[in-house]
Structure 1
Amino acid sequence: MSSNSSSEGERESQSGSVDNKPQTADAEQLSFRDIGVMEQLCEACEKIGYKAPTEIQRESIPWSLQGRDIIGLAQTGSGKTAAFALPILQALWNNPSPLFACVMAPTRELAYQISETFEALGAGIGAKSAVIVGGMDMISQQIALSKKPHILVCTPGRLQDHLENTKGFSLRTLKYLVMDEADRLLDMDFGPKIDMILKVIPRERNTFLFSATMTTKVAKLQRASLTNPVKVEVSTKYSTADKLLQYYMFFPFKHKDCYLVWLMNEMAGHSAIVFARTCNEVLRIGLLLRSLGIEAIPLHGQLSMDKRLGALNKFKSGARKVLVATDVASRGLDIPTVDLVVNFDIPTFSKDYIHRVGRTARAGRSGKAVSFVTQYDVELLQRIEQVIGKKLDEFPGEKDAILLLQERVNEAQRLAMLELKDIQAKQKNGKKRARDERGDKQMSLSEAKKISRGNKKGGSRR
């Protein structure tokens, strides 16, 4: 663990800062009050169950309260959202202003979750937040912006849309900019949009970059947007939680569904997230599990925002025990009760593994992660083991007992494929109908214009 300014010279020039920062002999006994958080926010922390600051919070909040820019690197599930939310809310209390802070997140689900954290922590001081993401109605978002929220949580693309198209909206009063999951923001090709946003917001501001993994792209962004930052690092570049038990299961590709069904039966009663590579595969697995009586709900990028939030809420509330998802669910989502993460498809990039398995063993809890390894995945597994610096253990399971399920699974696969084809046919027909309706509408408009032009000509002759 280290907490350091961006250079030794900067550290020496900030002599008061270092002295003011809590020293860590009894760091784990420190309270939020001890690290400078004001009373109203300490009470809010107690109400929502934050008993004591986590390591990233202990290391970064004192610097933030002194007005420094922060680069925060910490394991997923370590409390990064509160690490930037608490200093921002305290600064807002001291200097109330509309559109005080803007938080950019890579996914819509994460944006909603960050907003919930701000509203829970800021309820006692009257802080209001608005969420501006794609896939939702622009007009209702424009109305929300016209009410001048204190905190704006957004995805970069939709923020750019509003900056260009919403009359009277600007970020001139902005005092804080946060980029959460900064490496993911840049991996998703948001770079040009972020560059544009950086040009139109005040230079005199505080900037926080937070992520579980840092990349060279983030280093470039840091140079472009931060002033004399403090780098707060409470994990190695790639690391997983200490209480996370990590396993693999090795078998031929053709038995993949059978092993999944066996594992879900073994973990019956526990909550699990199953990660697959594509939207189609997520849908197929969800149908397969449901046909076998396993309560599963899909989450992927092709669903409408309402359906995505609905799926998340059903999983969070325990109405569904299994969430089958693409990597849209791998970043930042805080669902404390997840017991198991299954990598049905091993991710191609090792850091995506870090984020996926970070959905369990959060905030000091324990959890399990099981990766399915077929003859095609051995190299990917070895790469992950090299990156995280540990060998995965084999998950215990009797092959013969597992394969007894194969006949039932085969039938469930057949039913799932039939249902999947039916869904795809309905979607295709729906798109065709929508195209035809658009065409009819355009034709009727052009006919109306012709009639209108004809009437005008007739009128002028008369």
Structure 2
Amino acid sequence: MPSPDEASTSSSPAPPATFKSLGLIDPLLEAVEQLNYKTPTEIQTETLPHALEGRDIIGVAATGSGKTAAFALPILQKLWEEPKGLFACVLAPTRELAYQIAQQFESLGSAMGARCAVIVGGMDMPTQSIALAKRPHVVVATPGRLMDHLEKTKGFNLRSIKFLVLDEADRLLDMDFGPSIDKILKLIPKERTTYLFSATMTTKVAKLQRASLSNPVRVEVSTKYQTVSTLLQYYLLMPLKDKDAYLVYLANTLAQNSIIIFTRTVNDASRLSIILRTLGFPAVPLHGQLSQSQRLGALGKFKSGGRKVLVATDVASRGLDIPSVDVVINFDIPTHSKDYIHRVGRTARAGRAGKSITLVTQYDVELVQRIEQVTGKKMELWPTDDQEIALLKERVNEAGRVAIAELREQAQSGNKGRKRRRDGGGGRDDQDRDDDVVEAGMPTKRKRSKGGW
């Protein structure tokens, strides 16, 4: 029979996990310390022991949970033990997320000289072929462009990789990358370690799991969709025809804050950023029809604080690490509640406070009620000054006319450019199609409705 002292010792809670206790080697411990990772997140604590044992992993975790390090660290640890050639391939749904993952691999693997190549659409194929010829350790890619290189780039293959990562798997499949992923799975070794991470377990993801993973350990750190407690959620009720004026009123009221405004369509993201700029707000658009350099430039300006307002489609709602966002405004309410949760998850991160404000017209009430039901939280009414909004309307309408004229001009010059390329050959190649479906399901044009846009 144990003594009282022994009994109390055996029942005391286990000490919190550290990166060292999870089994990381010294070069990686130094890297996490330099990056100021104090303690492992829940997904890292649950994943790393199994991953370091060499098991396949299926991780169900929301965006912002630290999952990139959860799969990067075990891959880099194995690379330290066997430093040879192309070692791992990571598939991501969007260009921005691919760049972000590569950046984290290079930061964590700096001591061991880990090299990454980012292979995404919108960039020059020959330049990417040269990067692949230099035999990087890790290729981070969108599936469509990776498939293009596997089919067309001489000497490039994935026959020697040890690891395959499918990040944001639910979104990869939502964006119709399924056929490309099926082809890639046939061209890589059966003997490999596979990590699949997804925010939701859809039927498609479950099917992909069965096809690509072998006896995986399932790690789930958030079973229920929810918003964080530090997020204050508001709604603003208005007639559809006055929506632009209410948005400008909010931008004016919140002028000192960093703001992401989410729209449903590319057209509205472009239109609203022009309206805001015309009225003196430092706004930049982010959507899938911009070139890669424009997208990275917009993100860079917003992250550095050079621009306070980012007007984006759902390309920015998941996966992107934008550390400091004070307010998220839903100009359009997303049709799926999970998309709302991903959008508002851009703020109130890492224990900080944040606000989300959703614009609600007479046609959106049911969607708001559905979101409240899923999150289990009621939104509060955001206070407004009707007189101030009435004074804004004329200026906003004028800025709206400027925006429409500017977009029309851009469309015409774009058509001329496309015609020149058709006549003279060359120009944007067909490989650029890969993740332009980042706006899959989102119409790029929106018909003018009775009361306004």
Name the TM-score class by shorter chain.
0.7 to 0.9
The code of the aligned residue for 1:49 comes to N
Contact 1:272 1:338 in 2 (8 A): yes
User: 1:364 aligned to 2:355?
Assistant: no
User: 1:282 aligned to 2:269?
Assistant: yes
- Which residue is equivalent to 2:442? none
State the shift of 1:26 in Å.
6.1
- Which residue is equivalent to 1:454? none
Do the aligned partners of residues 303 and 29 (structure 1) sit closer, same or farther apart at CA in structure 2, a change above 3 Å counting? same
Moved more, 233-242 or 142-151: 233-242
Distance 2:108 2:66 in 1: 13
- Which residue is equivalent to 1:135? 122
Distance 2:107 2:367 in 1: 40
State the shift of 1:333 in Å.
0.4
The code of the aligned residue for 1:182 comes to A
Do the aligned partners of residues 99 and 298 (structure 1) sit closer, same or farther apart at CA in structure 2, a change above 3 Å counting? same
The code of the aligned residue for 2:351 comes to G
State the shift of 1:24 in Å.
12
Contact 1:132 1:141 in 2 (8 A): yes
Unpaired runs of at least 5, structure 2: 1-9, 427-453
The code of the aligned residue for 2:221 comes to V
Contact 1:79 1:363 in 2 (8 A): no
The code of the aligned residue for 2:257 comes to H
Out of 59, 65, 77, the residue aligned to residue 78 of structure 1 is 65
Contact 1:342 1:371 in 2 (8 A): yes
Output one character per residue of 1:73-113: Cα deviation in whole Å (capped at 9) or x when no partner: 12211111111111111111112121111100000111001
5 Å matches for 1:259-408? 259-408=246-395
Do the aligned partners of residues 356 and 123 (structure 1) sit closer, same or farther apart at CA in structure 2, a change above 3 Å counting? same
The code of the aligned residue for 1:383 comes to R
User: 1:30 aligned to 2:17?
Assistant: yes
Moved more, 242-251 or 201-210: 242-251
Q: Find the residue that maps to 2:218 and give its secondary structure.
A: strand
Do the aligned partners of residues 25 and 124 (structure 1) sit closer, same or farther apart at CA in structure 2, a change above 3 Å counting? farther
Q: TM-score, normalised by structure 2?
A: 0.88
- Which residue is equivalent to 2:196? 209
- Which residue is equivalent to 2:100? 113
Moved more, 234-243 or 89-98: 234-243
Do the aligned partners of residues 316 and 227 (structure 1) sit closer, same or farther apart at CA in structure 2, a change above 3 Å counting? same
Moved more, 256-265 or 361-370: 361-370
The code of the aligned residue for 2:369 comes to Q
Out of 127, 131, 136, the residue aligned to residue 144 of structure 1 is 131
Contact 1:272 1:342 in 2 (8 A): yes
Out of 370, 374, 397, the residue aligned to residue 410 of structure 1 is 397
Do the aligned partners of residues 208 and 250 (structure 1) sit closer, same or farther apart at CA in structure 2, a change above 3 Å counting? same
5 Å matches for 1:431-450? 431-438=418-425
Count of residue pairs the alignment pairs up:
417
State the shift of 1:47 in Å.
1.3
- Which residue is equivalent to 1:102? 89
- Which residue is equivalent to 1:423? 410
Distance 1:25 1:325 in 2: 49
The code of the aligned residue for 2:317 comes to S
Do the aligned partners of residues 423 and 24 (structure 1) sit closer, same or farther apart at CA in structure 2, a change above 3 Å counting? farther
Contact 1:213 1:237 in 2 (8 A): no
Do the aligned partners of residues 231 and 400 (structure 1) sit closer, same or farther apart at CA in structure 2, a change above 3 Å counting? farther
Do the aligned partners of residues 25 and 145 (structure 1) sit closer, same or farther apart at CA in structure 2, a change above 3 Å counting? farther
The code of the aligned residue for 2:305 comes to G
The code of the aligned residue for 2:306 comes to A
State the shift of 1:28 in Å.
8.4
Distance 1:392 1:40 in 2: 47
Output one character per residue of 1:89-143: Cα deviation in whole Å (capped at 9) or x when no partner: 1111112121111100000111001001111111111111110111111111111
What is the root-mean-square deviation of aligned Cα atoms in Å?
Answer: 1.9
State the shift of 1:433 in Å.
3.0
Do the aligned partners of residues 24 and 86 (structure 1) sit closer, same or farther apart at CA in structure 2, a change above 3 Å counting? farther
State the shift of 1:41 in Å.
1.1
Do the aligned partners of residues 26 and 371 (structure 1) sit closer, same or farther apart at CA in structure 2, a change above 3 Å counting? farther
State the shift of 1:66 in Å.
1.4
Output one character per residue of 1:353-407: Cα deviation in whole Å (capped at 9) or x when no partner: 1221222222332222211111111122222222223222222333344333222
User: 1:169 aligned to 2:167?
Assistant: no
